[in-house]
Structure 1
Amino acid sequence: MEDGPDTLPADVDAVRAALIEWYETDHRSYPWRETEDPYEILVSEVMSQQTQLDRVVEAWHAFLDEWPTAEALAEADRAAVVGFWTDHSLGYNNRAKYLHEAARQVRDEHDGEFPRTPDGLQELMGVGPYTANAVASFAFNNGDAVVDTNVKRVLYRAFSELHDKEEPPYQHIADELLPKGRSRVWNNAIMELGAVACGKTPRCDEAGCPWREWCDAYDTGDFTAPDVPTQPSFEGSRRQFRGRVVRALNEYGELPIDELGPRIRVDYSPDGEYGRAWLRSLLEDLSDEGMVQLTERDGAVIARLQR
């Protein structure tokens, strides 16, 4: 990307493609991800504020059964809407009042049609920049890059240049990464990455994070982030085991993977959680960096330091 900030990798198109492919191959299933109806998406976004998504599903279905369209909600008694909110423990009853008022605005001020841009959606009661952008993205594929806590965590860990800035330019970086005209899939994908693979406790290998090749945190083992202020211990980190691999191969010259495993961790078990698949992933990273050479001999993977 010629005009993008120097925080972005040179192969930014590969970064984009890897994330989208990861998301489209497998992601959590939520009903609002299967619709492009702006009303249904707005209801999900309002309900999801400070509420776990799995808890929202039942309430979302019940709400739409009661008021299936913005017009139906606009015609409803406000007390009934607030009562629904309370009965389903969705918290902050003013969100129910704002949602009801927004439906009336759509009916009375927009001829029953939702605005299609983030700026237009922000004119609706209780719809702030984040929610407006989410609805514009998921309903109309017409949004900017969404930046929530999960996305900030992903960007901070991936791009080390953000670490030295008092006010990291998250929105600018996110907007530069966003593929033009693909805000629907991109915003879903990067938020899914933050929730599934790059949470406060990262699950990089387990979740098959598509950004491991470019991620500074994955490379260094330092998963500190704005909402994860304490740096994880070096003990037991991926960085520690990378160092052990290099030391073992430097001592022994070359080793089959099942002989190398026990030398770098006592709980190595070929078919276990920390077994061949885990060690092979570690070795492939080192191979990609030109530090380790992998060959096959008599059906076994042999590792040696690259000379």
Structure 2
Amino acid sequence: MSEADDPAAEDYLPVDPDAVRDALVSWYEADHRDFPWRRTDDPYEILVSEVMSQQTQLSRVVAAWEAFLERWPTTADLAAADRADVVGFWSDHSLGYNNRAKYLHEAAGQVEDDYGGEFPESPEELSELMGVGPYTANAVASFAFNTGNAVVDTNVKRVLYRAFDVPDDDPSFERVASELMPEGESRVWNNAVMELGGVACGKTPSCDDAGCPWREWCHAYGTGDFTAPDVPTQPDFEGSRRQMRGRVVNVLGQSDELALDELGPKIRVDYAPDGEYGREWLAGLLSDLDDDGLVTFDESAGVARLRE
């Protein structure tokens, strides 16, 4: 299939993409991890955080980032530093390959010598800096200048694959990510979608605990299938609550309305009205799905149907 024959990005999205966007941004702005580089729009400080984060857990980057900027607070300071000192700092803080320290030192010199100490603002220009690839350039453009494109990293791919059943190919991920991002809002949007992948939609999802704002539309949440490009198997899926949720949605999708004792045997072969997996268990499952906007459950009548 050629790219021209591929489904358009909007074909994968819910009918009201603005509601999807608003839900994610509201969720992010209400509460998110408070990394210090999220409190600055200084491109140098953001570049340092991005380079450090490439091989190091974010929780460990904070102390190294603060120490690095205390020692070399500007590109001028870093460019004037002895490269051996920069590499030594990198090694002392276990920040991964030392060539990243060399490239960062070189990039600081480029900013000073080629750009008069002022960072370029577009992803294309930022990519001209030593060691700055497309992803890092886009991140700096987004978080420092709000001029970036939609970020598409492993976490974002996982989110799009699960939430909207986007095929596992880069062109599809790129198209859907670009369609979703509000125009001119790359700073908040890219932070928000990466937060979603890091907090709620990790390899082991925490949909309910993290209050994922996309549960209402999420294909994985509705079906119980949380596989993803970087999560090829779900060893604990069989018999799990998410599997039962998916079965409920699938069964109700083929019926107008079902009573508990009609629905139960279609969900579990060991369903028994008064047993461990009986009416009380099924009512709890349906109540959760009702709260999430996926089904309508009339507890007093003991009937359920798929919500339209």
TM-score (norm 1): 0.83
Name the residue aligned to 2:203: 200
Q: Which amino acid aligns with 1:139?
A: A
2:105 aligned with 1:100: yes
**Which of 229, 233, 237 is matched with 2:241 structurally?**
237
- Output the aligned Cα RMSD: 2.9
Moved over 3 A (4+): 241-249, 260-268, 288-291
The 3 A distance-change label for structure 1 pair 235 and 306 is closer
Name the residue aligned to 1:216: 219
Name the residue aligned to 2:45: 40
**Which of 53, 73, 77 is matched with 2:58 structurally?**
53
Identity, % of aligned positions: 62
Name the residue aligned to 1:190: 193
Residues 223 and 245, structure 2, Cα contact 8 Å, conserved in 1: no
Distance between the aligned counterparts of 2:181 and 2:165, measured in 1? 19
Deviation for aligned residue 1:161? 4.5
Distance between the aligned counterparts of 1:35 and 1:162, measured in 2? 35
Deviation for aligned residue 1:251? 1.9
Q: How many residues are aligned here?
A: 282
Aligned pairs for 1:7-156 (under 5 A) are 7-156=12-161
Consecutive unaligned residues of structure 2, counting only runs of 5 or more, are 1-7, 253-257, 264-272
Residues 286 and 304, structure 2, Cα contact 8 Å, conserved in 1: no
Deviation for aligned residue 1:225? 0.3
Distance between the aligned counterparts of 2:303 and 2:230, measured in 1? 39
**Which of 279, 282, 285 is matched with 2:289 structurally?**
282
Deviation for aligned residue 1:282? 2.6
Deviation for aligned residue 1:62? 0.2
Q: Secondary structure at the match of 2:11?
A: coil
Distance between the aligned counterparts of 1:4 and 1:230, measured in 2? 26
Distance between the aligned counterparts of 1:97 and 1:115, measured in 2? 20
The 3 A distance-change label for structure 1 pair 139 and 262 is farther
Residues 234 and 240, structure 1, Cα contact 8 Å, conserved in 2: no
Q: 1:107-131 CA deviation, whole Å, 9 max, x = no partner?
A: 0000000000000100000000000
Deviation for aligned residue 1:305? 2.3
The 3 A distance-change label for structure 1 pair 221 and 241 is closer
Q: 1:62-81 CA deviation, whole Å, 9 max, x = no partner?
A: 00000000111011010000
Consecutive unaligned residues of structure 1, counting only runs of 5 or more, are 254-259, 269-274, 296-301
The 3 A distance-change label for structure 1 pair 194 and 262 is farther
